[in-house]
Amino acid sequence: MKIGILQCDSTMEHFRAEHGNYPGMFISLFHSVDPELEFEVYNVELEQFPQAPEKCEAYLITGSRYSVYDSKRWIENLEKYVLELHERKCPMLGICFGHQMVARALGGKTEAAEQGWGVGVQNYQTVSTQKWIQPALKKFSLLASHKDQVTKLPKNAELIAESDFCPYAAYRIDNHILTFQGHPEFQKAYSKALILYREQILGTEVFEAGIKSLEQSIQTQEITHWMINFLRNSTSSK
């Protein structure tokens, strides 16, 4: 299976030598579960879109420092492209910004969250039973870094996971779209670097809680299995 990564941001240059860039994080993560997967990277922030949706069997929309409601041409074009992929029922994953973009493009709503920043390890409850949710987990934890949230699910979306802090933490649309607010591709070292970098923005309480949360375990491998299972189920049913 070939997955097109729609890259919506790059790591800051002073982080890159140690932590790499976002496409590499996803490729390493997915290859740790299935080394046979193929990837093509499209830097949509630079207006690099696939010439045709058929170029890849599935697509993944990355996170971004930007908000989906920012007035930028590439964001507006990405929103249109998400709608096109949806209309074609192309298998698609969305992570953080990607999770929020799918919601915005397909009739939901994303906005700055009243809860403020969510950073470090976040804990979620699984609220749906699906055959691709293997291994089965009633609860899971992922790293997060966001101040925006989906506040209204898009049409035909089914909630997959939630938390008190993030009520719409993961959802699916039919059998071809699956999105998560958390970052399965993040390593704890990168999450810590982001928290330290944003200490003044986060404020003392959020900063200290975020650093403390990094002592908890995270289920990146399990969630990656979910995503791959979902894509394989989606591509086999097309």
The active-site residue out of 56, 90, 96, 166 is 96
**DSSP codes, the chain:** -EEEEEE-----HHHHHHH--HHHHHHHHHHHH-TT-EEEEEEGGGT---SSGGGSSEEEE---SS-TTS--HHHHHHHHHHHHHHHTT--EEEETHHHHHHHHHTT-EEEE-TT--EEEEEEEEE----TT--S--SEEEEEEEESEEEEEPPTTEEEEEE-SS-TT-EEEETTTEEEESSBTT--HHHHHHHHHHTHHHH-HHHHHHHHHHTTS---HHHHHHHHHHHHHHHHHT-
Letter for the amino acid at 81? Y
Instruction: For residues 35 and 56, give the distance between their C-alpha atoms in angstroms, rounded to a whole number.
Output: 17
Active site residue 146: no
Is 185 an annotated catalytic residue? yes
The verdict on whether 56 is a catalytic residue reads no
CA separation for the pair 222, 211 (Å, rounded)? 23
> Which of 45, 57, 162, 185 is flagged as catalytic?
185
Could you list the active site residues? 96, 183, 185
